[in-house]
Copies of this chain bind each other. A is one copy, B any other.
């Protein structure tokens, strides 16, 4: 009997494994997905979806299913500090302040099991059934089958069934205790030597504490608590039970439900609190740690808690896991589909490990803030007021950290360094037409998410979110900001003729079934790796797609937009999307966005071949085929 072959074996059905599996299943890969647990998470665990993650879930078409569970939404954080007669509120601030341009400026709180089920339902639609409760028992990368170099052994947790399969890739989303990481001998580096024991309790409470439906950090002479609202009238309380800085530090120190409730009652004086019921209670030690490597051979990968552990206070775990998975998914896809060079897989570790390091640095700072800093009423009240009114802040040290934290915790602080995907002056692609935020020629920063913008879709006059118009489909998103149609007619025509030339980034990757693609295919009529969107500085009724665009772009008629929606952030702009991107409202420009929504490169839109030459050079730095206009002439 021949051994079963898969594109990938995924171990663990938490957020990281599920998101990876969901992406790859949609893109047609054959997946073996196992999880040790017999059922999805029943209670407790991570539950904070940050603003950036909600963008991602929407981009995957999963947001509505998440929101159907009526999660709690956190818009503000309240700080409570000790006073003579018990705690009092020092101030509040926005969870995602206005200086961040977020579509969903709040944290969404929902039980992890409900989130997992949304992914599991989607996987089922794409023919992937989780195999549970099964675990990985061994794996090996060998030369027996060069196309499927990883042999993986899995077994039922009861041990009475087992299987051995071969795969192109193995992914561990096993969580902090990872068999794969252990077998690989990958070490954990502890960034912050301080460890903590945390108690966490989900329950339904009655109280006269006024901020029970907000996120709160409460400091009192009797101890500290973090309050996090949840769906269905539930509240989560985090209580620090022990710290390795305590004189009597014991990592096995525990506390009963009643202990924690009694302590919460004392901390929350002069307010009363009573429990209708406790949904979940757990005590667990947390140490900060980061895996030294995310992969050794770009065949066996790890992500999520397997690679980074930290305190749960800032609600970052699931969000970081989502982005780990998203980052890896499209890179595997681009390699396996013949688009990009295998070497791009190295960027998974370099991009995501940096983010985890930032997270751990942030986490230890945040932990210090939680245990030490008691902001005074004046300071915090000022921040909140000021941020709400003007979107700006004064730059004292405390506010700087607050501001940096908000950007980080919202997920919008994720910034990938310059590399082959994220153009900079040191990128192999060189052209005077590349624009950059550093030079002040655009507001868009490579390695950062595209700025959101609201526009009108020409085909049906729907008012839409431009950044969401192209779903997470594994394609590069080429946004052609067309400025004033009369000004750019020649440049757009030249753009089209140059992408049609043999050897261009575009014509080199035309899909093999391009002649028979459905009329109703909106995103990938010609290539699986690019979707084009054209945005004109014109009123919708003045845009005639067929007469104003070259044929190749007409085919993307569902992705032609009028930049005619007023935006409060650029109140004087005629073309708000152009203005927000920092592009000329007259002359436009081209923004290349990676499949995961991060900006790759920004290029001036000019007459002649320059714009496409620059794009050819950019893609040539990582594509499998040699690209470039010159070669087309050979």
Contacts and interface: CB of A to CB of B under 8 A. Distances in A.
Residue of A92, A388, A461 with most partner-chain B CB within 10 A: A461
Contact of A75 (B75, B204, B214, B461): B461
A64 B64 CA distance: 7
B206 A519 contact: yes
Contact of A385 (B213, B385, B539): B539
A460 B72 contact: yes
Nearest to A389: B539
Interface stretch (A10-18, A419-427, A540-548): A540-548
Interface in A450-496: 456, 459-463
A106 interface: yes
Given A520-B204, A541-B92, A541-B385, A76 B461 contact: yes
A346 to B, nearest CB: 39
Interface string A57-93: 0000000110110001111100000000000000110
A541 B211 CA distance: 11
A541 B381 CA distance: 8
B73 A462 contact: yes
Contacts of A519: 206, 276
A208 B64 CA distance: 33
B68 A460 contact: no
Interface in A527-585: 539-541, 544-546, 564, 566, 568
Interface string A249-292: 00000000000000000000000000010000000000000000
A206 to B, nearest CB: 4
A210 interface: yes
Interface in A498-543: 519-520, 539-541
A546 B462 contact: no
A68 B64 contact: yes
A233 interface: yes
Nearest to A105: B463
A214 B461 contact: yes
B461 A210 contact: no
A608 to B, nearest CB: 30
A88 to B, nearest CB: 11
Contact of A213 (B64, B460, B539, B564): B460
Contacts of A106: 462
Contacts of A520: 204, 233
A546 B208 CA distance: 9
A384 interface: yes
Contacts of A175: none
B73 A545 contact: no
Contacts of A628: none
Nearest to A208: B546
Contacts of A72: 460
Contacts of A461: 74-76, 92, 214
Contacts of A540: 76
Interface string A39-68: 000000000000000000000000011011
Contacts of A64: 64, 67-68
Interface in A167-197: none
A553 to B, nearest CB: 14
B541 A384 contact: yes
Interface string A386-404: 0010000000000000000
Given A460-B214, A520-B204, A388 B539 contact: yes
Interface of A: 64-65, 67-68, 72-76, 91-92, 106, 204, 206, 208, 210, 213-214, 229, 233, 276, 381, 384-385, 388, 456, 459-463, 519-520, 539-541, 544-546, 564, 566, 568
7 contacts: A64-B67, A73-B460, A74-B460, A206-B519, A210-B545, A385-B539, A385-B541
Given A204-B520, A566-B568, 18 more contacts: A65-B68, A68-B68, A72-B460, A73-B462, A74-B460, A74-B461, A75-B461, A75-B463, A92-B461, A92-B541, A206-B519, A210-B459, A210-B544, A210-B546, A213-B459, A214-B459, A381-B541, A385-B541
